[in-house]
Amino acid sequence: MADSQARYQRLDGPGGGPVADTAAAQQAAARGPDYSELEVGEPQVFGDDDDARYYDEFASYDRRGAKTNAWRRKRFSLVQLCWAVLGCLGLYLAASMVWSSLVRGKGTPAPPLDVGGVASSEHRDIISAGAGDGVPADRTGKRLLTYDNVGSVNGLVQTRSLDWVAHPSDPDIDGLYREVAGDEFVVRSVSNETWKHTLATRADLVRASAELGEPFTPLGWSVSADWEYMLFNVRSERVWRHSVRGAYIVYNTRERTMAPLTATGNRDVQRVEWAPAGHRLQFVRDNNLFVTDMVHEIQVTEDGSDSVFNAIADWVYEEEVLGSAAAGLWSPDGNAVAYLRMDDSQVPVYQYPLYHPENRSAVYTEDIRLHYPKPGYANPRVTLHVYRPDFGGAAAAATKASANPDTDHRPQQITFEAPFDAADMVITNVAWMTDHSDRLMVYMMNRVQNHLKVYLVSADPKSLHGRVVRERNTGEGGGDGAWIEIGPSPIYVPANTVGNLTADGYVDLVENGEHTHLALFSPPDAAQPVRWLTAGAYDVVGASVVLSRKAAEVSFLSTQASSVNFNLYRVALNAAPGDAQPRALTPRTAASTHSRLGAAAARDGTYDASFSAGRGFYQLNYKGPQLPWQAVYSSGDAGFEVVLNDNANAQHELDGFQLPKTELFEIANEAGDKMNAMAVYPPDFDRSAKARYGVLFNVYGGPNSQHVSAAFALDWMSALVSQRDVPDMPWIVVRVDGRGTGYKGRRFRTSVAGKLGVLEPADQAAAARYFQRQPFVNPQRIAIWGWSYGGYTTARAIERHSDVFRVGMAVAPVTSWRLYDSVYTERYLRTPQDNRDGYAQSAVTNTTGFARARFLVQHGTGDDNVHLQNTLALADMLAAENVPGFEMAVYADSDHSIYTHGVRPALYARMVNFLFRSFHELENKEFDFWRHGDPDDDARILARRRPTARPAK
């Protein structure tokens, strides 16, 4: 349950070079939405072909008429009978007036008659919506989003990303990127349209692959730093969220030959990574590390097993610490690899079945065994090692590092000064603090992650030892005792990058009071920064920080303009906050008059960026709230612009739609904090309407997350607010980031420490009460839904605030933090031994609120992240209490994303169906029959099960 988007990228890497290229290839090969935490920090969108089938179930319910279906079961009262008579009379009068008008030869009917509070003109709009192309339209004649078309409409919006590469020999040549152009695999230049370097043609690859004796169908590709070799991913199987297992082919661009990456076990390669220099590769197979120079292959480790992981993350490190499967890192010169070894032999195994319902011959389940540490149980024991490959001399014939007679070329373990106990140690970051391979920086935390030690490590084979250079402990010296965020790795800054920087140093992201800012440390063993590069009541977004050595500047995203908008800034390394403030690069107001994008270049909103290898160019991505675009700009030439995608075609198509309206604002919680909020209103939203709209809250709420954003998005909730199938039940969708979420300061973020599930639902309830007071809202139609942590917040909201939320829908929720993983949970709740009350109070245990509401929970049986055990524990509790209005759906073999066998459309359809049906039934009181006729039945059953008391001795 990753808690921050900042952890999914390194602070600084080889400029989108080999490491990023290989990772991108693996991710592309294993593509599929990661809903593990509902994509923290960015609203969900979808747009594949399956979206056209999203609401088959809903369509079969509502297009027959929800009220007609329910009418058969409705208990009539005298008042209802009177309304029915009046309605019939009104329809008769209206029909008479229309007939009279037609008889008199007039072309239009008489003005609409208000029947039961709904104008007949509105009914005419709905009836006429089916004309033409069959897509509903509003009064302007523009089309509306529907459950059937929203996926394809969203798919109109295109994005493009450049895969930056470095020149193999001349660092002054910058702005290069790789792509497939027609039948060629090429490197191009953003600043010279005519320049092109062809790495291979399809004909070359087909000719070379013929010698392999098997089809060559690449899923992704990357190129070595010297451009002499290309790596193709030809088979890929997803393992966990970031990890894949597959097969790789290497192509020699000079000799035009092709061969498998490794002669044995090539179909089971777990990860690969090019060195930043030359063409060395590291890869992992069977949890063992290998290296190759394309001539010799050396097995570095030999103890890899189901419980020992070398240079690849185990489950909990992949998910909660590294945000990646990669646990090995080449040195900048390619002469050494630093890697983590994780020993899970003491970590308990969680086991769950795969049913394979699509395979009719599979009569027995397949059992998945996963080392998964839960709170209070053993964590993986992690150690750090350095290996220096030796591909020359007498040792070249050795296929295993252990056979090298020179001990300097065997794996060597790093030792640390005063480390945490091995059972409680978490290594969060490893970074080379050099341009060579002689020095590392390592970040280590205790088990509950409120005590950080920063080590400077000598990677010299003669003294592999780390000493503490910085330390922070929030549990001492008046600290708040709450967790310390796992940030991105520091950026190495060589001496003399700036005139007055006479010693090496580094840039790091550090909390300075309430907010996270950039600090410059020099020398590397300095305990305090030599200067703060940023300061103020805003946060620097960690994953975005990039250093340009040539310009001695740091570029970064921050929330300086707004906590829901990320904008790009630049600051000089020698600038103190009081002397020179960071310079805003977005929005590009001054350049908009000369831009091909026109006024779009000057739009306020949220952005991100990626930088070329030499940092002289950057791709700027405008993400919303209006239609996204991508363009390339120069760090040194303000007039340079290359538009990659302006989405003009998408804009033309979307102009034919009346889209929902989005508003960003703030709402106060009960403590007086201002919470970020956004509302999505129907296209024809009428603020003057009386008690017309229901409100569906879409919540996430996890620590340091962000769910409210200005990014452009069209999803199933966009169709919900646009729907005309149930015209007397229109909806507004609302998101609110309450206490615990990010970018609002440390106090706001850490207020949930030690007591998850208390403040988060309370803040959602405060926002719901705000909307209940709005005259256009029906105060009895308030619902809430969420996925993962959002599912947990939803369940807690129904449990504690069912007086506000009458319907809740949870997908893959945690229901007890004793059942989730230790690294995530103990970060916020500490251990169960230290905080027994916190765990007890954070679990969903009270059924009273559920009995007053309607609740739907959905989960995948193959969820390795939030185990089905959570939902089954909740379902058992609700069933045992015979709670009415509770429904559950499970999806065979689906993981946390619930995509297996194409079931995602059914999941959303079930939610839409449940939402409308639940409020109809609540408002017509149709659930009394759920109760037992004989309340003594359960008492008699329990009495039979109760053991007979033994007489005292």
**Is 253 within 8 Å of 229 (Cβ atoms)?**
yes
Residues paired with 744 in a beta bridge? none
Amino acid at the residue 777: V
Torsion of the alpha carbons at 388, 389, 395 and 400, rounded to the nearest 10: 100
> CA 157, CA 710: separation in Å to the nearest integer?
16
Active site residue 655: no
Which phi and psi (to 5°) does residue 230 adopt?
A: -115, 145
DSSP 818: G
The answer to whether the Cα torsion of 28, 30, 33, 35 is positive or negative is: negative
In SS3 terms, 879-940 reads as HHCCCCCEEEEEECCCCCCCCHHHCHHHHHHHHHHHHHHHHHHHHHCCCHHHCCCCCHHHHH
Residues paired with 237 in a beta bridge? 245
**Is 16 within 8 Å of 613 (Cβ atoms)?**
yes
Pairing of strands 807-811, 854-860: parallel
Active site residue 343: no
> CA 491, CA 471: separation in Å to the nearest integer?
18
Helix (H, G, I), strand (E, B), or coil: what is residue 690? coil
**Is 178 within 8 Å of 223 (Cβ atoms)?**
yes
Active site residue 863: yes
> CA 308, CA 317: separation in Å to the nearest integer?
13
> CA 380, CA 256: separation in Å to the nearest integer?
44
Q: Burial level of 304, CB count in 10 A (0-12/13-18/19+)?
A: buried
Q: Which listed residue (385, 451, 517, 896) is catalytic?
A: 896
In SS3 terms, 428-488 reads as EEEEECCCCCCEEEEEEECCCCCEEEEEEEECCCCCCEEEEEEEEECCCCCCCCCCCCCCC
Helix (H, G, I), strand (E, B), or coil: what is residue 712? coil
Of 449, 144, 421, 405, the residue nearest 316 (C-alpha): 449
Torsion of the alpha carbons at 216, 218, 223 and 229, rounded to the nearest 10: -10
* Contact partners, residue 896, CB within 8 Å, separation at least 6: 35, 36, 241, 788, 812, 860, 863, 864, 865, 866
> CA 486, CA 3: separation in Å to the nearest integer?
10
Residues paired with 443 in a beta bridge? 429, 454
> CA 47, CA 511: separation in Å to the nearest integer?
38
DSSP 646: -
Amino acid at the residue 430: V
> CA 885, CA 930: separation in Å to the nearest integer?
8
> CA 223, CA 232: separation in Å to the nearest integer?
9
Q: Which listed residue (36, 224, 635, 788) is catalytic?
A: 788
User: Please, what is the angle between helix 789-801 and helix 759-772, to 10°?
Assistant: 70
Q: Which listed residue (608, 737, 763, 863) is catalytic?
A: 863
**Is 174 within 8 Å of 616 (Cβ atoms)?**
yes
Q: How many CB atoms lie within 10 A of CB 233?
A: 24
Of 739, 676, 730, 728, the residue nearest 703 (C-alpha): 739
**Is 824 within 8 Å of 1 (Cβ atoms)?**
yes
**Is 317 within 8 Å of 261 (Cβ atoms)?**
no
Q: Burial level of 941, CB count in 10 A (0-12/13-18/19+)?
A: exposed
Catalytic site residues?
Answer: 788, 863, 896
